[in-house]
Amino acid sequence: MGDRAEKKSRFVNSLSRGLSILEAFDYANPTLGITEIYRRTSLPKSTVHRLIQTLCDLGYVIPIKAENKYMLGPKVLSLGFAVLYSLELRDVAEPYIRELSNSIGETVNVAVLDGWHLVYVERLKTQQIVNINLNIGSRLELYNTSMGRVLVAGQSKEWLSEYLRYLRQIPNAKDFWQDNGKKLRQILEHVLDKDYAINDEELSPGLRSVAAPVRNREHTVVGAVNIAVSSSVYSLERLKSDLIGPLQETTRAISAALGYISI
């Protein structure tokens, strides 16, 4: 009963209704009027009118005034492409990270950028390292994770400026955004120079990890792979000496499979 109540408290009706309108459009019905949407979603017409206007303002739906109908806008494609890119990365990366995990006997993860966070798209877990529950679909902050730092390092200066403004909302991130993000910028310089990032028990006590970027044919960083280990087994020195080489060999192979050619 408690789980059901908790799920209900997290449920956002307006978001659910907005998504149901987008789902009303399909291959057989690329354009729909208000009445058709109302019938296909069972939402009140007043709600359909309000949500359609919002979706139009956001660019997810486009009005066809001559027909008094609507169609999906190009912004919907960006959502689909993000999913496709993550699926392609996961499919391509899986055999390489499985070989890596088997060879070192440790947990290997793959993540992609999702707004101001990272999201896990693959996870090969060998053991429960620390008391932290991470699965495919888990979202984490970027600034205090090895994969997050790799993903941030691949972004533009303009993106980083916006991200530092976001970090001001996070009390624990003060050390990273103060002084114009001096600490984070130093970390990113190291990532760009060495092509890897380390997390030394900053996400959770007892957990260390090292991450490296995955690039596509356009030389864009499209994901990150990390090896997560117990700090009781791996000192920082051992992590660097034993794991960085195999990790970077793996990410280079994945990048090559995605069409990346090193200049």
Where is the domain boundary, 51, 73, 95? 73
Within 105-235, residue ranges assigned H as helices are: 146-153, 157-167, 174-194
Look up the CATH number of the domain holding residue 208: 3.30.450.40
Instruction: Report CA torsion sign: 200, 224, 115, 87.
Output: negative
Average pLDDT of each block of 10 consecutive residues along the chain (263 residues)? 51 81 86 94 93 91 90 73 66 94 96 92 80 82 97 95 94 94 97 97 94 94 96 96 98 94 80
* Same-domain pairing of 69 and 96: no
Count the domains in the chain.
Answer: 2
Q: What is the pLDDT of residue 65?
A: 84
Which domain range does residue 201 map to?
79-257
Q: What is the pLDDT of residue 114?
A: 87
This prediction has a pTM of: 0.69
From 222, 213, 221, 198, select the one nearest 144 (Cα to Cα).
Answer: 198
* Same-domain pairing of 109 and 208: yes
140 within domain boundaries: yes
From 49, 203, 193, 175, select the one nearest 118 (Cα to Cα).
Answer: 203
262 within domain boundaries: no
Dist CA 27 CA 19 (whole Å): 17
241 within domain boundaries: yes
* Same-domain pairing of 45 and 154: no
